[in-house]
Amino acid sequence: MSFPKSISATLPFAAGLLIALAAGWAAFPRAIYKTVRQPVNFSHKVHAEKGGQKCDDCHSFRADGSFAGVPTLDKCAACHAVPMGTSADEKSFIDQYVTPNREPHWLVYARQPENVYFSHVTHVKVAGMKCESCHGDEGSTDSLRPYQEDRISTYSRDIWGRPAAHSLFRTAGGMKMDDCVDCHRRQGLAHSCLDCHK
């Protein structure tokens, strides 16, 4: 097969361009993230629907107003001291964590880096925001999705937003500084560096 001279002259360049675009848009976003499974196959849906629990029953505020975050094993063991059901996940949780009193190493999707100070009490109690505003439908999922960690920066994929193009085109949906600032601007709220970077 032969191409006209002008096309065959540009074909190698076009081929290189297409290969790079395919690799950069399809392969790179998958390769940059490391996928790690959560230690326990936890169902928010079962706890909310069958257990009748609300978000703050487990993700509670302490007496001093600070946010306790992911509950410790003590809280789980209060109900799961003995198996609640016969599922394999339940048995595994009891055998691996409750009985040996070993804290599960939960991977927190929304954990901000150490140089960020985020106050849950200000956003939830003062501003009246719903948990879903930032955490989406996490509270009604039947299993915990795998945790995706950036291989270089070690940030959670949730911080940077789900779309792969976020670092080329600015996208919403993550928990980056730009997302915080955008929301504060929309609400007409004052913000300064030291609000979050103490």
Query: Is position 14 an interface residue for other proteins (rule: CB under 8 A)?
Result: yes
Q: Is 16 in the site for other proteins (CB under 8 A)?
A: yes
DSSP for 29-54, please give it: HHHTEEEE--SS---HHHHHHTS---
Q: Which residues contact 110 (CB under 8 A, 6 or more apart)?
A: 134, 135, 156, 158, 159, 175
Q: Is 36 in the site for other proteins (CB under 8 A)?
A: no
Select the residue interacting with other proteins from 42, 97, 118, 150 (CB under 8 A): 150
Cα 110 from Cα 128, distance rounded (Å): 19
66 in contact with other proteins (CB under 8 A): yes
Q: Which of 4, 6, 52, 64 binds other proteins (CB under 8 A)?
A: 64
Nearest to other proteins of 17, 189 (CB atom): 17
Residue selected from 6, 86, 101, 115 as contacting other proteins according to rule CB under 8 A: 115
What's CA 90's distance to the chain center, in Å? Answer: 24
Q: Indicate left, alpha or beta for 30 from its phi (over 0: left) and psi (-120 to 50: alpha).
A: alpha
- Near other proteins by CB under 8 A: residue from 83, 85, 113, 173: 113
Kindly calculate the radius of gyration of the chain based on its CA atoms and give it in whole angstroms.
23
Judge whether 182 and 189 are in contact, CB under 8 Å. Answer: no
Q: Does 11 bind other proteins (CB under 8 A)?
A: yes
Element at 117 (helix H, strand E)? none
Task: Please report how close the Cβ of residue 2 comes to other proteins at its closest, in angstroms.
Answer: 9
Smallest gap from Cβ 103 to other proteins, in A, equals 10
CA 178 to CA 173: how far, in whole Å?
10
Residue from 167, 181, 185, 187 touching other proteins (CB under 8 A): that is 167
Residues that bind other proteins (CB under 8 A): 3, 8, 10-21, 23-25, 28-29, 32, 62, 64, 66, 68, 72, 113-115, 150, 152-155, 164-168
